Homo-oligomer: A and B are copies of this chain.
């Protein structure tokens, strides 16, 4: 599964604002490896540095220590795609309008972009990118007319539909906004006298900031002159948090939506053990995706946990081509099973998700070849049957194996003796507030209506650059 989220970080009134932002992004690198950007307010102007690649590659000491001056900073990381690189789409998105300098970092996906864009173009707007964020910025500017920037943002947000957690730097103010359903995470913390924002709290841990709380859905937090004020962009609406953060995306050491990710994953494994026990010799994950649910499954079932798939820690992005005879090489090079732990054994594999299934199929075949007696798989989420329009890329429905096939068919395709997906009720029993989550990818009930032309602009781009998957960031 592709990692499709983005990561946001902001800091207000810190001597080393750029450096803190750098490390905040660094801790959240798993949320986006395509591009990274940092902006700071130097008291007079916004300074920026953006580039393609990992945080450690995009920024150097000259950027952080000299050029990105100022006590207010914010940054953005974007997911990895295959295909052509698009620096043009890297964030934060920056514009100037008269004396106002505005930078926006956005996580999530709007579902009425096309409609808004057409409307704005009719009013003379010109677009240089295909990003949702550019549409939002035009809305803000058009609402500025006599309004404060805070009011303009609120008016602009009223026009948006979909998922957005945003950080906005407007000259010397730093503003955080979450959409009314709260699809995407965003937390606030303190670092001595400074305020900090981050998509995940692992960013706070690295810079030794203290986690305060998640933003509420529909909340707008403004930091201005060191004072924090909280406001709402709309009436309260039902929470529709993305449960995939808990299942898969977030780092297990983070708090997300107020939940401890590690514990939720372990709990999913425990429920799975109750829902679908097996008489087997051992439980094991394919590291690291199933690790924490496997711990839970083992503890609940009493079956021993084995870490019997060994990772090659030196697998990088490039190596020379294997020979044609070396089948499934790219899968095998990453993980190698411990032969003696497999041979003659009845094995339960715990995984956190199945998207296309091809990698799993190869691994199962390999275990069979080493003499595994039985192979059972337990998946710590329900079957993904519907695309996500709020920011996760399951690519397209055609590639979602569960959208088109029954569980028995999938088990047969994967070569398994048995296969069980966590049920929706089981999943909800693993989290603290079962009504607060969006389940659209499982049940197709989309909490926010999606415009007909959703993804049209993005798709156009992806057609232009073959190999790029949909860009919902």
Give the interface of A toward B (CB within 8 A): 16, 19, 22-23, 26-27, 29-30, 33, 42, 44-45, 47-48, 54-56, 59-61, 64-65, 67, 84, 87-88, 94-98, 118, 121, 123-128, 130, 137-138, 141-142, 202, 205-208, 251-253, 260, 262-263, 288, 291-292, 295, 298-299, 304-308, 310-314, 316, 318-323, 325-326, 332-333, 336-341, 460, 463-465
Contact = CB atoms under 8 A, between A and B. Distances in A.
Chain A contact residues: over half helix, strand or loop, or mixed? mixed
A80 B82 CA distance: 32
Contact of A260 (B84, B251, B340, B465): B340
Nearest to A260: B340
A332 B209 CA distance: 14
A61 B321 contact: yes
A450 B252 CA distance: 50
A205 B369 CA distance: 12
A411 B467 CA distance: 55
A414 to B, nearest CB: 22
A158 B465 CA distance: 37
A305 B42 CA distance: 49
A89 B255 CA distance: 40
6 closest cross-chain pairs (CB), A and B: A29-B314, A253-B310, A262-B338, A45-B464, A253-B336, A260-B340
Given A142-B124, A314-B29, A206 B56 contact: no
Given A60-B320, A141-B126, A336-B206, A251 B94 contact: no
Given A19-B320, A27-B333, A60-B320, 19 more contacts: A22-B320, A23-B326, A26-B314, A33-B314, A45-B460, A54-B314, A56-B318, A61-B320, A126-B141, A128-B128, A202-B310, A251-B310, A253-B339, A262-B338, A263-B338, A288-B313, A292-B307, A298-B305, A299-B304
A26 B205 CA distance: 34
B23 A322 contact: yes
Contacts of A205: 332, 336, 339
A305 to B, nearest CB: 6
B316 A253 contact: no
Copies of this chain, tallied across the complex: 4
A49 to B, nearest CB: 8
Contacts of A56: 314, 316, 318-319
A340 B67 CA distance: 39
A42 to B, nearest CB: 7
Contacts of A310: 202, 251-253, 262
A384 to B, nearest CB: 23
25 contacts: A16-B323, A19-B322, A22-B319, A26-B312, A27-B312, A29-B312, A30-B313, A44-B463, A44-B464, A45-B463, A54-B314, A55-B314, A56-B314, A59-B320, A60-B320, A64-B320, A95-B128, A96-B127, A97-B126, A253-B310, A260-B338, A262-B310, A263-B340, A295-B306, A299-B304
A401 to B, nearest CB: 26
Given A299-B304, A314-B54, A127 B97 contact: yes
A125 B211 CA distance: 39
B295 A95 contact: no
Contacts of A298: 305
Contacts of A288: 311, 313
A94 B130 CA distance: 12
Contacts of A42: 464
